[in-house]
Structure 1
Amino acid sequence: MEELHRARHEQRREVFTDALTGLGNRVALTDAFIEAQEAAARGATPAALLLLTLDGFKGLKKSAGYASADQILVTVGMRIRSAVRENDVVTRLGGDEFAVLLPATPQNRAAAVGNRILAALEPNIDLGNSSVRCGASMGLRIAEPHHSVEDLLQEADMAMEESKSEGRNKLKVFDPSTLHARQLQRQIVGELREAIRSDQLVLFYQPIVELATGRIEGSEALVRWNHPVRGLIMPDHFIPVAEASGLIAELGRWVLRAAVEQLRQWRENSLTAQHGFSMRINVSAADLQSLEFVDDVRDALAKTGLPPESLVLELTESAIIQNNELDRYTLASLHRLGVGLEIDDFGTGYSSMGYLRKLPVDAVKVDRQFVQELSKDSTQLGFLAAIQQVIRSCGLQGIWEGIETAEQAEALRSIGCTSGQGYYFGRPLPGPEFTDQLSQQQTWPA
């Protein structure tokens, strides 16, 4: 009978214990949470949950090896347990994620325990031949009567993610506005997915003009979201959501197909063919990382019968400066395909004359900030002339953004700049209005 009792006790212990660290596991956390919620329902103070992950653990695992990674986790578990109170339940949920349930604990006391844990993790961990420091990011959430253990973990996780984004090795308390923001973002993602599939997106077009003659050289396609309730939404408000949610590739394919189809119609109606007119579209970093992107471009051109050189892909400096193998492969493949490649917003942060000579690009679009400084600084024109000379010496075309006045256009012409874009020549217009201007205007502005 005693042996049976010991066997059952051992079996129960195994069910509730993390095999590596000897801490509790998710089952133990759930069991302790249910008990704490029942106590709270009888009038006790609600429980608190601390959730933490180790900063940079994946990199440590790769460099130190699996055995050392396990040793780190065991040491971290011991340090957490040494920093908490006797009745706090310390658990490892998997990987480098740990949770501590603090029964009947107000927020200020739970935060004090959390900061003790972070302090306990500060010293280096000895691995024999080396030592490593392994801080943590931590989220704190106080349980509420409606919470399930999954709810509590999810909201503590939101606070923990905030800690990571603010520099790590910090404790962040859950903020209900974070939950609202997440819910709002999920709603926007769903609406954007529907917008892509149901023609709520529209393209506006802005002219690229030859400065010496006013002849139009091409246009840039700029996406807008014609929301059924909120009206016209600018890309600054939904492109970041598309990037964060993984919708950017689907959005990019829509823009590509719609832009080349519009160009096909203009050429078919003899509005652009005589000018060697090109269509510019913006390309994201995610596009360069997609093996299908080159095929998407090739297919779009084949479907419309357009020559590759009639399409120019604008890539931000930040998208191409990573210079990884897949980016290089995609850029080289697009270059072989014959489409134009252009660095957008040149001069906004990563500008390096070295990579201008190495990348297979044809042009750079100089950021508007440089033109805007013309009226404020008498030396600015000389500076712009130097930039133009460098661009030309690299064998590239320069397109100058942000031209808003005739004086700015004339100043750029005077130093040999050839192409420009900005409100002076025309604001972005919907397809039908831009088409009407193409049919009537010989030079820009009118």
Structure 2
Amino acid sequence: MATPPDGRLDQLVELVLELAAGDRGARMTPSPASDEIDAVIVGVNMLAEELQALNRDLEARVTERTLQLEQAQQQLERLALYDPLTGLANRTLLGDRIGRAMARADRGAAPPAVLLLDLDGFKAVNDSFGHSVGDLLLIEIGHRLRQVVRDADTVARLGGDEFALVVLDATPEQVLSMAERIRASLQAPVQAGERSCWVSASIGVCFAVRGQDADTLLRDADTAMYAAKNGARGSVQIFEPGMHAAALSRVRMAEDLRHAIADGQLVVHYQPIVDLVSGYTTGVEALVRWEHPQRGLLAPAHFIGVAEDTGLITALDRWVLRTSVRQLARWRATSPRAAGFSLHVNVSPAELRTPLFADGVLRCLAEHGVPATDLTLEVTESQLMGEDAETIAALDQLRVAGVGVAIDDFGTGYSSVGYLRRMFLDIVKIDRSLITGLDSDPQQHRVAAAILAIVDAFGLEAVAEGIETVEQAEQLRALGCRFGQGFLWGPALPGPEMTPLLGFSAALSET
């Protein structure tokens, strides 16, 4: 007798097909018979459970890996588009935002405005307190800028202490008002960790016109910012086409200056420093001049700023030092009157901070056989404001070796009696602005008297600059000022023309 067909086998085959098709939840209930077929059913059900658990684990891993990939992608985008220190937009994102704003302008919207900011005094913070404090300062500056702008505007950090803003749908008056709010927000001290720092910002503003690209707009805003920095620091300048021409002129001058240093177009003139009591010329200040092939003899005011902006100032300083020390050695070898004659040479802040600067100065003196005591380096007060470790260490080393150190232009607005207490100082050069009118203005006379009294109290020598009349010289001598320089004794002269004046007595009564 034939065995009736068992429907469980068909169901079992159907279960296997469902599982193979991807239905991990398919199951079959064993029968009460508990025979071999039921054993297979139980085995298939267990395998299905394992497959379902494995599938859940794989899905969880895929979800986790997908999330990690998305986070990595977001992190890469953030690194590519945002400044890691401040969280502000970076130059790439800023360019994209400007591009979008200009595209909107092409469709009829108002063109954007770009503000470019450079912090004044940031380097002094870094040099004085360290880069960690400088970083905290930049973060706080970014926070203040975000508080000034609207949600639709973009704040970016371009690098270093430069920031930029893209302002949308605003009138020129609104943009300039925003610039003033930025200036006002920086008037309060910035708390950077435990340090309280004071900075300001020079701001360049460029109003876009349709058809400009991001690079041109940023370039013009940068040009306006440098115009602000070269004028009154902490001011706001609006870009004008003439500024671009001036910037190109400065670029050409920088290239010409580079060739001038290499081709021997620079010369040093020497201005006498006179003993106001004896009338003898006791020293000279070395002043660089540029014999420009087309423009003739140029004074430092025409090219020193370019040299500082382009980094050529260090090469210029070293050339002046070598040339003037060599001239002093020549004077000492050929003229008995040059014995004890002193040479004053100006030095820039960039050169002061150059590694082994002091060693280079002493090596130059040794090569030419000039005693260190015959050289005085002049440093402006503004250069000492940061009092960074490199500058102080170099000046201390030089003074120990015998080189004199003078504060130049004392009284020009950076004055601090605290500088006079520094152990590396020997001479204070009183700025010509305090000498002008000395013989006619009683107030100016009292100011000069007070400054000279302070200088004397610290045991330092004073040199008054810009003396033009016998009366000014006599009043300074009466006030206790020992030395002076200025057009009263003639302009700065080339070395050969200065030679006859060495040790020459120009008594005031003979003038």
TM-score (norm 2): 0.63
Alignment match, 2:388: 324
One-letter amino acid of the counterpart of residue 334, structure 1: L
The answer to which of 47-56 and 189-198 deviates more is 47-56
Matches of 2:446 and 2:163, distance apart in 1: 56
CA contact (8 A) 1:50 1:139 kept: yes
The answer to which of 381-390 and 209-218 deviates more is 381-390
One-letter amino acid of the counterpart of residue 444, structure 1: A
**Is 2:509 the partner of 1:443?**
no
Residues 122-169 of structure 1, C-alpha deviations (whole Å, 9 max, x = no match): 99xxxxxxxxxxx99684443565x55533443354456668898889
**Is 2:463 the partner of 1:409?**
no
Matches of 1:304 and 1:92, distance apart in 2: 52
Matches of 2:495 and 2:92, distance apart in 1: 56
Alpha-carbon distance change, 69 to 353 in structure 1, aligned in 2, over 3 angstroms? closer
Alignment match, 2:435: 371
Alignment match, 1:257: 322
Matches of 1:158 and 1:80, distance apart in 2: 25
The answer to which of 189-198 and 254-263 deviates more is 189-198
Matches of 2:454 and 2:165, distance apart in 1: 56
1:199 alignment partner, one of 242, 264, 280: 264
Matches of 2:353 and 2:91, distance apart in 1: 38
Alpha-carbon distance change, 334 to 39 in structure 1, aligned in 2, over 3 angstroms? closer
Greater Rg, structure 1 or structure 2? 2
Residues 239-293 of structure 1, C-alpha deviations (whole Å, 9 max, x = no match): 12222222211111111011001101111102444x4101111122223222232
Residues 65-123 of structure 1, C-alpha deviations (whole Å, 9 max, x = no match): 99x969x88x959x855x37xxxxx7979779677698xx9xx7698699899999x99
Q: How do 1:38-117 and structure 2 match up within 5 A? A: 48-51=111-114, 83=152
One-letter amino acid of the counterpart of residue 225, structure 1: W
Alpha-carbon distance change, 194 to 49 in structure 1, aligned in 2, over 3 angstroms? farther
Query: What's the secondary structure of 1:262's corresponding residue?
Result: helix
**Is 2:497 the partner of 1:433?**
yes
CA contact (8 A) 2:271 2:493 kept: yes
Q: How do 1:146-225 and structure 2 match up within 5 A? A: 149-159=214-224, 174-225=239-290
Alpha-carbon distance change, 437 to 25 in structure 1, aligned in 2, over 3 angstroms? closer
Alignment match, 2:333: 268
Query: What's the secondary structure of 1:280's corresponding residue?
Result: strand
The answer to which of 245-254 and 421-430 deviates more is 421-430
Query: What's the secondary structure of 2:491's corresponding residue?
Result: coil
Query: What's the secondary structure of 1:267's corresponding residue?
Result: helix
Alpha-carbon distance change, 342 to 142 in structure 1, aligned in 2, over 3 angstroms? closer
CA contact (8 A) 1:29 1:101 kept: no
The answer to which of 375-384 and 429-438 deviates more is 375-384
TM-score (norm 1): 0.71
Alpha-carbon distance change, 254 to 119 in structure 1, aligned in 2, over 3 angstroms? closer
CA contact (8 A) 1:226 1:233 kept: yes
Alpha-carbon distance change, 115 to 307 in structure 1, aligned in 2, over 3 angstroms? closer
One-letter amino acid of the counterpart of residue 342, structure 1: A
Query: What's the secondary structure of 2:466's corresponding residue?
Result: coil
1:142 alignment partner, one of 203, 208, 217: 208
One-letter amino acid of the counterpart of residue 142, structure 1: A
CA contact (8 A) 1:141 1:155 kept: no
CA contact (8 A) 1:55 1:168 kept: no
1:335 CA drift (Å): 0.8
Matches of 2:470 and 2:179, distance apart in 1: 64
CA contact (8 A) 2:95 2:215 kept: no
Alpha-carbon distance change, 37 to 234 in structure 1, aligned in 2, over 3 angstroms? same
Matches of 2:158 and 2:475, distance apart in 1: 63
Matches of 2:91 and 2:447, distance apart in 1: 63
One-letter amino acid of the counterpart of residue 325, structure 2: V
One-letter amino acid of the counterpart of residue 111, structure 2: A
The answer to which of 411-420 and 328-337 deviates more is 411-420
1:235 alignment partner, one of 279, 288, 300: 300
One-letter amino acid of the counterpart of residue 344, structure 1: D
1:370 CA drift (Å): 3.6
Alpha-carbon distance change, 263 to 148 in structure 1, aligned in 2, over 3 angstroms? same
Alignment match, 2:21: none
Residues 302-323 of structure 1, C-alpha deviations (whole Å, 9 max, x = no match): 1111110111111222222432
Matches of 1:387 and 1:185, distance apart in 2: 38
Count of aligned pairs between the two proteins: 403
CA contact (8 A) 1:365 1:401 kept: yes
One-letter amino acid of the counterpart of residue 351, structure 2: D
Alpha-carbon distance change, 64 to 195 in structure 1, aligned in 2, over 3 angstroms? closer
One-letter amino acid of the counterpart of residue 252, structure 1: D
Q: List alignment gaps of at least 5 residues for structure 2.
A: 1-69, 126-130, 186-199
Alignment match, 1:352: 416
Matches of 1:27 and 1:416, distance apart in 2: 62
Matches of 1:114 and 1:372, distance apart in 2: 38
CA contact (8 A) 1:140 1:160 kept: no
Matches of 1:443 and 1:115, distance apart in 2: 60
Matches of 2:375 and 2:134, distance apart in 1: 48
Matches of 1:203 and 1:265, distance apart in 2: 14
Matches of 1:377 and 1:94, distance apart in 2: 49
One-letter amino acid of the counterpart of residue 426, structure 2: D
1:219 CA drift (Å): 1.0
Query: What's the secondary structure of 2:366's corresponding residue?
Result: helix
CA contact (8 A) 2:406 2:425 kept: yes
1:25 CA drift (Å): 9.0
CA contact (8 A) 1:239 1:248 kept: yes
Matches of 1:408 and 1:119, distance apart in 2: 46
Query: What's the secondary structure of 2:290's corresponding residue?
Result: strand
Alignment match, 2:373: 309
Alpha-carbon distance change, 16 to 50 in structure 1, aligned in 2, over 3 angstroms? farther
Matches of 1:112 and 1:379, distance apart in 2: 44
1:233 CA drift (Å): 1.0
1:424 CA drift (Å): 2.2
One-letter amino acid of the counterpart of residue 208, structure 1: I
Matches of 2:171 and 2:280, distance apart in 1: 71
2:360 alignment partner, one of 296, 302, 308: 296
**Is 2:278 the partner of 1:278?**
no
